[in-house]
Each structure stands twice: as structure tokens, then as C-alpha cells.
Amino acid sequence: MSRFAVTTPIYYVNDVPHLGTAYTTVCADALRRVHALMGDETFFLTGTDEHGLKIERQAVAMGMSPQAFVDGTSAAFRAAWPKLLVEPDHFVRTTDASHKAFVAELWKKIEARGDLYEGQYEDWYCVGCESFKTEKELEQPGNLCPLHKKPVERVKESTFFFRLSKFQDRLLALYESHPDFIRPRERKNEVVAFVKEGLRDLSVSRTSFTWGIPVPGHDGHVMYVWFDALTNYMSALASKGVLDTFWPKAGRDARVVHLVGKDILRFHTVYWPAFLMAAGYGEDELPSTVFAHGFLTVDGQKMSKSLRNAVDPLRLAERLGPDVIRYQLLRGVAFGQDGDFDHAAMIERYNADLGKNLGNLLQRTLGLVAKLPTGKRPTYGTPTELELELVRDVEAKLAEARTAWENLEINRAIELTWEVSSRANQYVDRAAPWVLVKQPDTARAETVLAALLEVLRLMGQAIWPVMPEKSAALLAQLGLPKLAPGPGLDLFPKTFAPVPGGTDLPPATPLFPTYDKDQTKALLDELVPKMESQEKAPEAPAPGKPADAPSEEAKAAPITYADFEKVDLRVGLVTACEKVPKKDKLLKLTVDLGEEAPRTIIAGLALTFAPEALTGRRVVVVANLAPRDFGKGLVSHGMVLATGPSEKLSLATAPDDVAPGARLK
């Protein structure tokens, strides 16, 4: 039996889950599911990266301990993924005791083999990347990080160096002997070119801050955050007792695939294998594949806080259903390339692929089955050349889809799967079952409809890695149980084998109700972020025509400056958020205002924001508002400022570098 483990990067906890992290995580979940469907023993790992200078600085600015800070932000990631039907086998945190112990042992192994030495480091460091930068990597003028476009810092401190330069030839040999170690190919070429330019020894400890894993035997040093973070891929398996099951080794049928963004490929394909080689691992004991995907844009624009076009995947999932978001992410982007999350294309693809293709095939088939004299599941009789062609084409497409999945060609695998559904719709048009059901002898009609039901059964199995809930719903309409994959049980659809006839089928219900033009427009108005460039200033009145007077509602009585000074406006950090039961419009926010304890604020934001979308955001709070009792023990101690209609509110916010409790003047 084969074993397949897939990992995401562990996500840095200075942010909240967003479309980019959702994309990687959904891709990993789909790969885990498809290998489980093929009968492999699987393991899916994700988690959070919680150490480093950036985290320490953020925690200090908020008046919190680093541990308290990461506890809250890590919880947001853990809570997010089930809402996208993501089911990891383990959620690792770099603050876990088991992880820290494993990292310390790895350090000791490398030190014992002579590949660590103490010295002085002086060079450039990007706190945003938690990465050292060479002079030639920086953008000028200003010594800017090429990714963050912010000035890097000059660092000079005592450090331990890792002899990375020693492993240049071994790394190049690895890339040559293991062609699938780096994918896609163009990314491999970039890494090979980088290594051939020559490697410098790498600083792997810091003494200028304390929030990290202590270097064993050397007080004052904490490990470089990437040495710490990369080791999670092994420490997590070890903590679950499955390292010897899933980690590659000669003679072991095990495969480990790391999914990463292209911006962190170098850490995973240069530093990580070099660390493992230095610890004594051979070429066959390294990760099988590091697959780098591209960046996502939104409606053709780079995601940016300044443009206010960031997409909350959890809000989309709540509105459209998690299966639909998974389908759009997996089908709409060529895996390994940059891609665009286009809201209009998402609705168009939903209507075409899901509603009119697969959904309509199900509705047409079940509707015609209901017109048979028995109304029961039809019996597959003697096939004609039409059926034989259908069977050949369907089985061939499913075999191609399986190969595409195995090759990590996710979007191609889904395209091939939907070609099965398209082929069945062509068969419907050629076989004309709506005519056959009206004939006295329904044997031919039953054969055609049984063939269609069988294609739908195969589709129900094939879409499970992408759309697990819709897979179960489709199979239920065919009177079949949902899938229950297990090791050694190959359930990936491959063979045309109609279910015997004569049993009852449940009533048909639309699997993917389509959106008409008006509904589509309303959806896009609701879901598409309104970017800064889209906001238009009010039109000036025509020459000679006075502007309309403001409405009575818009007028407010003047106040003195002394009155204004009484309003205490402060920046608050939302550390937790939840819905208020039986109150559709209300959310309960826990807000850090830089005081001894956080405040509870009840806010009417629920029609616009999912709770997860607010956690981690800096908002503007009226801090000296008298408490308001909402009943049942809910008392609000402040007001969060926002504007707009209740279903489309915009928050008054503050930049990330403003400390909680800062007063607006």
C-alpha cells in the first residue's frame, strides 16, 4: 500500500486567513482526498509559524506576551479551515513542546557533524520576510525588500552559521537525480541558477531578540525562524507517531509533497534539504516534491490593503457554499502558475459547469426516470454502439483524470472530469431518451437512462476530492451512500458498472440552482470588493444650478470643540469575534484597547462581516461610551465605527503598525 503525505506551509500568525492561504490549503486537502480515494494511506499537515522578530514586535506593540498573541491568531487559522471543508490530520504549532524538542535534536545532530560554527553576522534583514537579504537582492534607492517594498534593516550580531556553501554540489546533484524534487520545471530552473551562482553560509541563530526556540547549550541564542519552521514537516509526523510511516526512505513506498508559494521556494529547496543532509539524511530520505504555486490576483488586480480588494474566502463560502469556492480555486487556476480570482467568472463557471452541465444532467436524467412506468431505477439492457462509445470515452477520461491527479495537475484533472459530464450530455442529445420513454416498450429507454445514472455515479465519486458535500448530495439523489474511503480501498472511479435496476430513487432536487442576470448582478454587487479606484466623488452640480440641500437626516446640530474633545476615539485590535445567538445583525467582539483587560463590544456588523473576517483587524472605537445592556448578560463597552447600509458596511480602520489604545486626535 502506498503512503502519501501532503503539507502546506505553516502560516505566519501576523495575519488572518486570506484567499492565498485558502488556495494552498484547499489544494492540499484535495490532493489528500484524491489519494485517499485511490486507497493510499494519507496524512495532511498544516499549522502556524509562531516565532520570530516580527511576532515579538507586534506583541510588544499590543502590550501582550508573544505567547498570548500567537494563541489568538493561531486559533483563527484552526477555526477557518473546516468552513472550507478542509480536514487536516494534524494542526502543528511551532510553540508546541514536541516541535521545539524535535528542532533542538535536529540542531544537535548538525552541530555534532561540524556544520555549525559561531561568528559575527552583519548584513541586511527583512523583518517582513524573516529573511536575510544580499545587497544585490535589494531594490534601490532605499534598500527595499523586493517583495514588501519596505526598507530592510542592517543587522550586526553574534550568530551561529550553517555551512550552506558546503552543500552546493550535493544540492545540484539532488536536483539532477530527482527531477520531481522541484516542480513546476520553470521554478526548478530558477533554483538551479541560484545555487550555481554560489551559496553563502547561512546565519541560523539570533541574539537580538528572545522569541524563538533556544539554541541548545548556548544561552542568549534563539534559532533562525526558518530553521525552526521548516522542521515542522518532520516534527509533526513524529509527534503523531507516523514519521517512519510517511517520511521517504529507500524501500519505503512513501511520498511527501510540500505545497508552497513561489516566494518561499528557496527556503524549501535549498535550506531545507541542506539542513537534512547535514543531519545525516540521504537523498532518498528527503521530501519527494516541493511544488510551488503562483500568486493570486483578484479581478485582475493585485490584492492590496490600500486598494481594499482583499477577498475573505470564508465570507464567500458562507454565501455560495464551500464546495463552490473550492471548485473555483481548484479549477480556475492552472496549478503552478499565477492566477486570477475573478468574481464574474466564478458565477459564470458556476452556471455553466455546475448548473447547466452536471446539475442539468442530473435533473434531466432523474426527471425522465420518473416518467418510466415503474418510476424505479432502470435496468441496463443490451448496449448499442452509442453506449459502447460512451463507455470507452468515459473510462478513458477518468483514467486521464487519475493520471493528472497523480502528476499534481489539479486543474487539468478537474477539466477531464467535467469532460465526462459533457460527454454524457452529448449522449443524451443523440440517444433522445425523452422520445424513448413514450414508447410502449421501455427497454431501450431503461438502458439509456441506466447508462446516464452510471455516469452520474462515476461523477459523484470523481468530484469528491473537490466538492465533498456536493458529492454526497449527488450520490444521495442516486440512492447511494456517500463515499467512505479507507487505506487499501481504491474507490477512484474507473469502470462502467451500472447499478442493478428495480429500486426506488429519491425525489430529484436541484444540485446547483443557477443564477439569472439579476441574481448575478446582485451577487457581484455584494461580493466584489469595492476598490479605492472604483469609488467616485459626487458629481458637481451643473453650472448655475445649486446643489441639492442635504436631507434633514444628514444634518446635525453644531457642537463645540470642547464637546468634541469629550469623545474618546481609540484604536482597538479585535482579538476574537462571534455571532450573537438569535440576533442576525449582532456580533460579539473582544477588543484590545491597550488596557489591563480586553473589552466586550456588541456591534451590528453581522450582515456584512463574518466573525473570522474581523479577527485581527484594527478598528476605531468610541471608548468612553456608556455601557449598553443588550440583555441576557450581553453588555457592550464601546462602539465600533462604521458607515454605510447594514448589509454593506465599511469599517473605520487603522494601519497595522498603530498600537491598540492609540487615541485619534
For residue range 443-483, list pLDDT tens digits in order. 999 999 999 999 999 999 999 999 999 999 999 999 999 99
pLDDT of residue 132: 66
d(CA 424, CA 356): 13
Burial class of residue 235 (count of CB atoms within 10 Å of its CB; 0-12, 13-18, 19+): buried
| DSSP line for 556-569 | -----HHHHHT--E
Peptide bond before residue 287 is cis, with ω within 30 degrees of 0 = no
Q: What region does 135 belong to: left with phi over 0, alpha with psi -120 to 50, or beta?
A: alpha
Identify the pLDDT of residue 311.
82
Contact status, residue 605 vs residue 640, Cβ threshold 8 Å: yes
Spatial neighbors of 101 by CB under 8 A, at least 6 apart, are none
CA distances from 220 to 131, 160, 318, 661 (A): 20, 11, 47, 32
Q: Angle formed by the axes of helices 443-462 and 360-369, to 10°?
A: 150
Classify 340 as helix, strand or coil.
Answer: strand
Q: What is the pLDDT of residue 241?
A: 98
Backbone angles phi, psi at 482, to 5 degrees: -70, 160
**Residue among 579, 570, 578, 582 at smallest CA distance from 638:** 570
Can you say whether the dihedral through the CA atoms of 133, 137, 139, 140 is positive or negative? positive
Contact predicate 98/235, CB 8 Å = yes
pLDDT recorded at residue 192: 97
Residue 488 confidence (pLDDT): 96
Q: Which three cell numbers stand for residue 592?
A: 484590545
* Amino acid symbol at 349: R
Backbone torsions φ then ψ of 496, nearest 5 degrees: -75, 110
Kindly report, as residue ranges, where domains of CATH 1.10.730.10 are found in the chain.
Answer: 340-537
For 317-459, where are the E strands, in sequence order? 339-341
Order of strands, sheet of 202-203, starting from the edge strand that comes earlier in the sequence: 131-133, 116-126, 153-162, 202-203
Q: Closest Cα to residue 338, out of 193, 146, 187, 212? A: 187
Which class is domain 3-293? alpha beta
Cβ pair 612, 79 in contact under 8 A = yes
Q: What is the dihedral of CA 361, 362, 363, 367, to 10 degrees?
A: 100
- Span(s) in the chain for CATH 3.40.50.620: 3-293
Residue 613: the pLDDT is: 73
- State the pLDDT at residue 556: 54
Cα separation, 265 vs 369, in Å, equals 53
Which pLDDT does position 547 carry in this prediction? 37
**pLDDT of amino acid 224:** 93
3-class SS of residue 7: strand
Q: Tell me which H or E stretch contains 132.
A: strand 131-133
Q: Which one, of 268, 243, 211, lies nearest residue 94 by Cα?
A: 211
Q: Are strands 634-636 and 628-631 parallel, antiparallel or unpaired?
A: antiparallel
How many angstroms separate the CA atoms of 283 and 177, rounded? 9
382 burial type by CB count under 10 A (0-12 exposed, 13-18 middle, 19+ buried)? exposed
Strands (E) in 494-535, as ranges, are none
pLDDT, residue 501, reads 96
Q: Which stretches of the chain score pLDDT less than 70? A: 128-132, 147-148, 303-309, 530-565, 596, 632-633, 646-648, 656-657
Query: pTM of the entire structure?
Result: 0.78
Joined together, the cell numbers standing for residue 22 give: 485558502
3 contacts 40 by C-beta, under 8 angstroms: yes
Which pLDDT score is estimated for 144? 86
Q: Please state which architecture CATH assigns to domain 561-651.
A: Beta Barrel (2.40)
pLDDT at 189: 95
Residue intervals of the chain classified under CATH 2.40.50.140 are 561-651
What homologous superfamily does CATH list for 340-537?
Isoleucyl-tRNA Synthetase; Domain 1 (1.10.730.10)
